[in-house]
Amino acid sequence: PHNPKGKIDVFLQPLIDELQQLWNDGVITYDASKKQNFRLRAALMWTINDFPAYGMLSGWSTAGKFACPVCMKKSKAFTLKHGKKMSWFDCHRQFLPHNHAFRRNKDAFYKNRIELRKMNLLLD
């Protein structure tokens, strides 16, 4: 299969139309326990997908320096000297507990660097 890239809306439009109807108007349905009809409204609360699909669904760029949807503009990604590509090497230590030994390790990760940032995982 081929990646639809920017044409994902073609595949999602029927779902979007139905979700809008369920949210705005709702549908009349029957409650067997109360033996009466009621208006059912529904919403899509979340999706579970891989990173490329996340980018297509959300519109967030999953490439380049600001690819991480948690770090956003606070990303410490850098360009490789010879490859001219983005690297997120050593960006993960900020998510470890503040007293974790890996945060203070200057040899196994980015040389002579410790991680002091405490990442706030609450999304705005």
For residues 15 and 42, give the distance between their C-alpha atoms in angstroms, rounded to a whole number. Answer: 12
Full DSSP string of 67-110 = --TTTGGG---EE-TTT--EE-TT-GGGGS-TT-HHHH-SSSSS
Is the four-CA dihedral 101, 103, 106, 110 of positive or negative sign?
positive
> Could you tell me the pTM of the whole model?
0.53
Per domain, the residue ranges of the chain are: 1-45, 61-124
Is 17's pLDDT higher than 70? Answer: yes
State pLDDT tens for residues 52-100: 888 888 888 888 888 888 787 888 888 888 888 888 888 888 888 889 9
For residues 124 and 121, give the distance between their C-alpha atoms in angstroms, rounded to a whole number. Answer: 9
Average pLDDT over every residue of 16-42: 96
**Above pLDDT 70, what percent of the chain?**
91
